[in-house]
Amino acid sequence: MHKVILVTGAAQRLGAQIARTLHAAGYCVVIHHHHSQHAAQALVKQLNQQRANTALALRADLGDASAIAPLIAAAAAHWGRLDGLVNNAAVFRATPVAQASAADWADIFDINLRAPFLLSQAALPWLDQAGGTIVNLTDIYAERSKAGFPLYCAAKAGLAGLTRALAQELAPTIRVNAVAPGAILWPEEGDLTEQNRLLTRTPLGRRGEPQDIAEAVLYLIGAAFVTGQTIAVDGGRSVKG
């Protein structure tokens, strides 16, 4: 039986590319989605046409703590195992200090930090049995703050800390690592001036591609002697002052 990986927020964009890359490497993939049902089903159909019964779509609202254990149970039940968890789902939006609300805090922290913890917790029995792995998607803004996004930065910094803490506590059976993307996919309403400014501060001088992140996740899924680490996939931006 092929190993099974659950990828959250995998219907579109970066998560979909992670799922495609893992599937191409021989894994069975569980594609979690919330609102993007049609995109998730289309991706599952495409992957199952390539290899029958190797992809599954599951819907869950990760902002609802009660939905998380059933999501893990359903993911593990389909093939009778769960070998890996990729915590990709995230909320990214501006929350300037003067305008940020308690609802903003709850929404951003629930998805970006609480959900990865609860998913990891619920998956423990399966991952322990499989000698499995967790890969969290953090951000270079976990270390290098972005003005106007204090809640997002704080949540991702918390996820980076959670990665290290879980790696220590769950060893030696379960490995926990993270990938910190830099400029990969611009927001649809992105500012071109800001985007160009970021590229001038990136040593490689260009935006990355979703495949760059997906390949880093694939590496960490299989890296048997790596735990507690964060790989910055950012074109060198994190090393430039």
Is the omega angle on the peptide bond into residue 172 within 30 degrees of 0, that is, cis? yes
- Higher pLDDT: 183 or 104? It is 104
Question: Does the annotation count 152 as an active-site position?
Answer: yes
Indicate the average pLDDT of the chain: 92
Question: What distance in Å separates the CA atoms of residue 51 and residue 8, rounded to the nearest whole number?
Answer: 21
Burial of 189 (0-12, 13-18, 19+ CB in 10 A): exposed
Specify the pLDDT at position 18. 98
Please determine, for residue 239, whether its predicted confidence score (pLDDT) is greater than 80: no
| All domains in the chain, ordered by first residue | 4-233 (3.40.50.720)
* CB 190 within 8 Å of CB 175: no
Please determine, for residue 188, whether its predicted confidence score (pLDDT) is greater than 70: no
User: Which entry of 27, 141, 152, 219 is annotated as an active-site residue?
Assistant: 152
Specify the pLDDT at position 208. 81
Q: What is the pLDDT of residues 9-66, one digit of tens each?
A: 999 999 999 999 999 999 999 999 999 999 999 999 999 999 999 999 999 999 999 9
φ and ψ at 236, to 5 degrees?
90, 5
Question: What distance in Å separates the CA atoms of residue 64 and residue 79, rounded to the nearest whole number?
Answer: 25
- Residue 7's pLDDT band, with cuts at 50, 70 and 90, is very high
Specify the pLDDT at position 187. 60
- Least-confidence region, from 94-98, 188-192, 205-209: 188-192
Distance from CA of residue 55 to its chain's centroid? 18
DSSP string computed for 85-140: EEE---------TTT--HHHHHHHHIIIIIHHHHHHHHHHHHHHHHT-EEEEE--G
Q: What is the pLDDT of residues 196-218, one digit of tens each?
A: 666 767 777 777 899 999 999 99
